[in-house]
Structure 1
Amino acid sequence: MSTVLHPLLKDARAVLFDAGGTLVHPDWLRLARIAECVTGRTFAPEDMRRMLYEVLRGVDRSISEGNNPVAHTQRPGWLFHDMFCALGVDEESCERMSSPMLAEHERHHLWCEMDRQAPAVIAELKRAGLLVGIISNTEDGRARETIEEIVDQFDLLVDSFVVGFRKPDARIFQYALEQLQVAPGEAVYVGDSYGHDVLGAERARLRAILLDPLDIYEGSDCARIH
């Protein structure tokens, strides 16, 4: 992930990021161990990663069509549940995975693998004089835990569970801009979900960049980075 020289940053005063899937990633090995204990199957990190993005793309498609699956996406562990179902795990086994997965998540956040490039990207943006913030959808108000090692680099952290608005609701973007005292046209939002991040940011009149590491959104109408 590198946004430092992206043309959309011209004249920007602030860059806002999604957290999960953008700055931090799941602990694939812990997820695979939980799944193996329940199903007896082994899952490769690269297969889980690709399927997770495919699940997100399905949600994005729903949002693009005017639907917003808020109730489903507020369910704790929904994304991993849907990912394993999409990988061919039966519904009963996916449900049986829920308890050990939530227990492991409570012990230590499952979204805990910092993107290798993120610290350097954030540092470079700060050196360029830009305000840097996070807008994250969570089911439990624990966004800060996911970026604890670099949290002091950010000027703002907005957790949907705390403020009561979730992406793609334009209000959560507007709230962040008000806190930073930045106009919509002066801000860029970077995230890995077309529906939640790109459409939400654009509705709030921010510029948006889609993080698309697997080229799933090739041919889309938005700016993309890998």
Structure 2
Amino acid sequence: MKTYRHLFFDLDHTLWDFEANADETLRHLFTQHELSRHGITAEDFIRVYSDINHGLWRLYQGGKITQQQLRVTRFPRTFVKLGLQETDSPEAISAQFTEILPQKTAVFPYTYEVLDYLRDKGYALHLITNGFKDIQYVKLNSSRLTDYFQEIVTSECCGHLKPDARIFQHALERTGATPVESLMIGDNLECDVLGAFNAGIDQVYFNPDKRRHFAQTTYEISCLSELKSIL
């Protein structure tokens, strides 16, 4: 087994529970703006928004749209998909979502225990995230994760998005790590696993839903606690 020294984590969907935090935020906004008056349910609102948001994120990660386009179009598109008008989307809802969401604190089970364990074992812990810099730092501070990480690399900092190998190379340069002593832990087969592979870095695919796939990964886990058996 290789001896790793530098561990690179993804943030959203790996440590910080994006779905749980987004669900709570969207329910709050649904109630605040009395969206039930349009004849829709909170469940439909959340489901459709999630589908729209995931699709727009794929476009953003592929360089097809900008950060601003993602932010300003996801709610109007949600309302249209629900059979309503773009104008039914409250003017402030996008800004409110962006402000409230990162203040939520839900993380995946064993997040703190595992990070404590890894830090105590002497590993250097870092983050590589495609999330927007201003949002990610609020998430980290709100959920008490900031102090675990020596380096926090965002796509905005280096100008490249995962799975582009250049963001991983940038992270290696920032940390003084080499590929052979590094390990990437993330939930996305393309961004985290393939991106790290292309940069010569071993990977841990975090697959809590145990989704079936045919990708080749160095390791695969369904619970963060399983990292203890690898490291």
TM-score scaled by length of structure 2: 0.72
Query: Is residue 191–residue 209 contact of structure 1 (8 Å, CA) maintained in 2?
Result: yes
SS of 2:106's equivalent in the other structure is strand
Q: Show the counterpart of 1:65.
A: none
State the secondary structure of the residue aligned to 2:185: strand
- Aligned AA for 1:119? Y
Equivalent of residue 224 in structure 1, options 212, 220, 228: 220
Q: What is the aligned partner in structure 1 of residue 41 from structure 2? A: 42
Amino acid of the structure 2 residue aligned with 1:207: D
Deviation at 1:69, TM superposition (A): 2.2
Deviation at 1:13, TM superposition (A): 0.7
Q: Which has the higher contact order (CA 8 A, sep 6+)?
A: 1
1:133 aligns with 2:126: yes
In structure 1, runs of 5+ residues without a counterpart are 1-6, 63-67
CA distance in 2, matches of 1:11, 1:187: 9
Higher helix share: 2
Distance 1:35 1:198, change over 3 A: farther
| Structure 1 runs of 4+ with >6 Å offset | none
RMSD over aligned Cα atoms: 3.7
Residue 229 of structure 2 corresponds to none
Equivalent pairs counted in the alignment come to 207
Question: Do the aligned residues in 2 keep the contact of 1:141 with 1:159 (CA within 8 Å)?
Answer: no
Aligned-partner SS, 2:211: coil
State, as a whole percentage, how many aligned pairs show the same letter: 22
Which amino acid in 2 is paired with 1:41?
I
**Matches for 1:1-226 after TM superposition, within 5 Å:** 10-26=2-18, 27=21, 28-35=23-30, 37-38=34-35, 40-44=39-43, 48=47, 55=54, 59=58, 69-72=62-65, 74-75=67-68, 81=74, 89-90=82-83, 92=85, 96=89, 99-107=92-100, 109=102, 112-148=105-141, 149-222=144-217, 223-226=219-222
**1:14 Cα offset (Å):** 1.0
CA drift at 1:212: 1.3
Partners of 1:189 and 1:210 in 2: how far apart? 8
